[in-house]
Structure 1
């Protein structure tokens, strides 16, 4: 290994080659030399959300920023959100510590947070429909729920 962290030329025979290090260096170079246009990532996330074209869209029916009566003396109250898709309801509480939620009627479900640093990490709702994440959504986000045969995607929101 040379001083700059790259494998020395004589190590390229496969014995000292670190593919993960090479991939990381190539990602850094691409980010500097050919950065992603500002709106392209957002468009890509929105397009990816449509890959389940038969998914139902869960409509936002309650947002505590708009619909709730302010409580005097409450500093940074949690944001409460309710989404509805047919007979299925998803209640979410977003706090600085993360996200709490429940699927109603209670049922097991697999939940993905879209457009978030923790995107791709699946959450699991228990038999009572409850789920948690220790990652607070940042920027625009949506949830994709897979409950039995149903696939439901919430509207995109900005926290």
Structure 2
């Protein structure tokens, strides 16, 4: 009878051969760990218009509104688009210029937020995204949103 480690190794081999994870899932899992830095604050999703009761009575394809918070910083995203690509428009509250990175399974898009904290990223692939906001001169800690599927 094999010991536990040998049994686990054999089970891992069988699973990898019969039902491997999709490559996009593996890439997204690896990307989700890449943001972790000591000085970053994780912004948690606190509101999603698709889960609100009012979403049921709106037009057929309303924009999706997502709100994330991390300490004193709030990041609001509006997502519109078709089945393949999305446009992500956002605003950082309290307003501040920032370097913004919209990360997705296929890579990342870099844009700048203006002095009012507004930014826009076009042609974001459908699927999981996370937004990173880096503020100049360390005025505030870097903020990274949790991953959400758009």
Q: 1:125: how far off?
A: 0.4
Q: How does 1:107-122 map to 2 (within 5 A)?
A: 107-117=96-106, 119=108, 121-122=109-110
RMSD, aligned α-carbons: 2.0
CA distance in 1, matches of 2:26, 2:105: 15
Instruction: Decide whether the 8 Å contact of 2:104 with 2:124 is kept in 1.
Output: no
The gaps in structure 1 that reach 5 residues or longer are: 1-35
Q: 1:95: how far off?
A: 0.2
- The structure-2 alpha-carbon separation of the partners of 1:115 and 1:130, relative to structure 1 and needing over 3 Å to count, comes to same
Which residue in the other structure is 2:124 paired with?
A: 136
Match of 1:104 among 93, 103, 113: 93
Following superposition, which runs of at least 4 residues in structure 1 exceed 6 angstroms of deviation? none
- The structure-2 alpha-carbon separation of the partners of 1:146 and 1:72, relative to structure 1 and needing over 3 Å to count, comes to same
Q: 1:46: how far off?
A: 1.4
Aligned length in residues: 122
Higher relative contact order (CA 8 A, sep 6+): 2
**Greater per-residue strand proportion:** 2
Instruction: Decide whether the 8 Å contact of 2:27 with 2:105 is kept in 1.
Output: no
Match of 1:77 among 41, 44, 62: 62
> CA offsets, 1:51-89, max 9 Å, x none?
x23210001111001135125360111100011111111
Output the TM-score relative to the length of structure 2: 0.73
Name the larger-Rg structure: 1
Q: Secondary structure at the match of 1:90?
A: strand
Output the TM-score relative to the length of structure 1: 0.69
The gaps in structure 2 that reach 5 residues or longer are: 1-20
